Structure 1
Amino acid sequence: MTPRVDCPVSPIGRALFVPAAETLVVADVHLGRAAASSIDAPIDDGEVVRERLESLLGRTDPETVVVAGDLLHAFDTIPRGLERDLAAFEDCVDAADASLVVTPGNHDPMLETVFDGTVTSEYRLADGETVVCHGHEPPQTSAPRYVIGHDHPALSVDGRKHPCVLYGPGVYEGADVFVCPALSPLAAGVTVNGMRTRAFQSPLVTDADAFQPGVWDDSSEDVLWFPPLGGCRRLL
């Protein structure tokens, strides 16, 4: 592992916090995925999402919560229970006295049929330097820093898979890129240890070797930073 990384975006759990903007960013919530699955889900994914969100809100006390895409998992129908879980998600944010903004992802074509809150394809945070979007398409807004989701990164260490954040300094047209892990309990994560650039789905991942993975450690309540993926291939 490498020393602590000093950057203006702080990984926490399966999310990112931007202190200068008092904003919590979560990605790939995928509400409705369990009901839309062809098999019975072993857990109540909506309940787990609420528990994770409540914990994150309690730790960060944000003014704003931004979903970096794929709040839903709904393409042409609304899965059973989705509206209930979405209402509970919104209630969690309201109870924390925070505002909610959603940047749609590729799994969100029906978002505006069930969500009447703030929706925008890209959202610039109050710090003026960070733009949040899902990451499945090239951003239209210029910024020195992007926070995205979409790829569900996870790092395999000693045979165990750990959701991780990926931090790529200056990798997209000179801008930094942070890739969030998935908040959904049903997204096990895509193991990034040996992935090359072409294997990532986001066009913002232009040089996979330069991205540094960070794994949240509950015991120390801190991030364990690993060498960039180019080095991880030789170590893990």
Structure 2
Amino acid sequence: MRDDSRRGAAEAGSRPPRVDPLPGDPAATAAIGDDRALLVADYHAGYEAGLRYERGVDVPSRAPDRRERLVSLLERTDPDRLVVCGDLMHSIGDPGGAERGELEVLFESFQADLTVTVVKGNHDGRIETWLADGDDIEATVDIVPGEGVALGDIGVCHGHTWPSRAALESDVLCLGHEHPCVRLEDEVGGSRVERAWLRGRLDPESFRDRPDYEGVSWLEDTDESPPRVVVMPAFNDLVGGTWINVTGQSFLSPFLPAGLAEAEAYLLDGTRLGPYESV
């Protein structure tokens, strides 16, 4: 049974909504109404099968490890809702056998009282035609469009398209798709790549001229603060991503990086790196 006394953010009334990364993990918790939520992005189930098919690269499947990591996070945080900000699966079209099998085993491991919200990413194909109707899946599964929705005061989208108006009118916008990484160099020329969080605010200038957003208050009122934005690291540690601190790297999202203001990078362990361009 869940301990309702832990839902401090939900009971805080006027306090702004918080999206709190879990130190050491590519996941965050948030309060959505009275629910505690766990947020992840870019799970990319079946990625190893995709590598074999697309590139001829034979990589042992890490499906059990991915599942154990996510299930462990669910056990540790005890959420009412799991939110996947897109690219739950890897294949663009219908999932292959290994990929679909991975997801079926994953969802069969979820508790019956868990609600799962899946934002459709560009890799999620026709996921809605089979996942929500799985006979052995006891959790409640909701699949929403890639442009996203508002869940309480938090907007969620994948990031491969412009956000929905509802997501953009939320206090915080969370998205995936970008797989942000930083390349870190030491004094002797060695380097390594680390997954990272991007946190900042949206830049109104990038959204103001789009007809779909006409009348959005923070785009018209210069005294109103734009929503905060959280670009989530990929849950799957094999997929690579955008090196956000390397000159000449192209971002994947149509509204990034121009849509970011005051954005800073953080490592998974919580280390604050400062403005991402100067890391």
Which TM-score band applies after superposition, normalised by the shorter structure?
A: 0.7 to 0.9
2:37 aligned to 10, 13, 23, which one?
A: 23
1:143 aligned to 170, 188, 195, which one?
A: 170
Query: Which letter maps to 2:150?
Result: R
1:3 is matched with none
Deviation at 1:98, TM superposition (A): 2.0
Could you say if the C-alpha distance between residues 157 and 59 of structure 1 is closer, same or farther in structure 2, counting changes exceeding 3 Å?
A: farther
Rg (Cα) greater in structure: 2
Deviation at 1:71, TM superposition (A): 0.8
CA deviations over 1:12-41 (Å, ceiling 9, x no partner): 211121146511111111112211223344
Could you say if the C-alpha distance between residues 114 and 32 of structure 1 is closer, same or farther in structure 2, counting changes exceeding 3 Å?
A: farther
Secondary structure of the residue that 1:199 maps to in structure 2?
coil
Q: Distance in 2 between matches of 1:157 and 1:209?
A: 22
CA deviations over 1:183-215 (Å, ceiling 9, x no partner): 11321332211257x821223432557321111
TM-score (norm 1): 0.82
1:123 is matched with 149
Q: Distance in 1 between matches of 2:150 and 2:197?
A: 20
2:262/2:275 contact within 8 Å kept: yes
Secondary structure of the residue that 1:43 maps to in structure 2?
coil
Q: Distance in 2 between matches of 1:161 and 1:209?
A: 24
Could you say if the C-alpha distance between residues 143 and 209 of structure 1 is closer, same or farther in structure 2, counting changes exceeding 3 Å?
A: closer
2:196 aligned to 161, 164, 177, which one?
A: 164
Higher relative contact order (CA 8 A, sep 6+): 1
Identity level (%): 29
| Greater displacement, 78-87 / 146-155 | 78-87
Could you say if the C-alpha distance between residues 209 and 133 of structure 1 is closer, same or farther in structure 2, counting changes exceeding 3 Å?
A: closer
1:53/1:92 contact within 8 Å kept: no
Q: Distance in 1 between matches of 2:79 and 2:48?
A: 28
CA deviations over 1:200-231 (Å, ceiling 9, x no partner): 122343255732111122xxxxx111101133
Q: Distance in 2 between matches of 1:40 and 1:170?
A: 39
Could you say if the C-alpha distance between residues 28 and 86 of structure 1 is closer, same or farther in structure 2, counting changes exceeding 3 Å?
A: same
1:90/1:100 contact within 8 Å kept: no
The alignment status of 1:199 with 2:250, answered yes or no, reads: yes
Could you say if the C-alpha distance between residues 7 and 35 of structure 1 is closer, same or farther in structure 2, counting changes exceeding 3 Å?
A: same
Q: Distance in 1 between matches of 2:107 and 2:171?
A: 30
Q: Distance in 1 between matches of 2:128 and 2:60?
A: 27
Q: Is there any run of 5+ residues in structure 2 with no aligned partner, and where?
A: 1-15, 133-140, 186-190, 205-218, 220-225
TM-score (norm 2): 0.71
Secondary structure of the residue that 2:158 maps to in structure 1?
coil
Could you say if the C-alpha distance between residues 202 and 80 of structure 1 is closer, same or farther in structure 2, counting changes exceeding 3 Å?
A: same
The alignment status of 1:211 with 2:267, answered yes or no, reads: no
1:101 aligned to 97, 109, 117, which one?
A: 117
Deviation at 1:72, TM superposition (A): 1.1
Could you say if the C-alpha distance between residues 188 and 230 of structure 1 is closer, same or farther in structure 2, counting changes exceeding 3 Å?
A: closer
Aligned 1:48-67 pairs, distance under 5 A: 48-67=65-84
Q: Is there any run of 5+ residues in structure 1 with no aligned partner, and where?
A: 1-5, 218-222
Could you say if the C-alpha distance between residues 129 and 7 of structure 1 is closer, same or farther in structure 2, counting changes exceeding 3 Å?
A: closer
2:181 is matched with 154
1:10 aligned to 14, 20, 23, which one?
A: 20
2:19/2:28 contact within 8 Å kept: yes
Deviation at 1:7, TM superposition (A): 7.8
2:50 is matched with 36
RMSD: 2.3
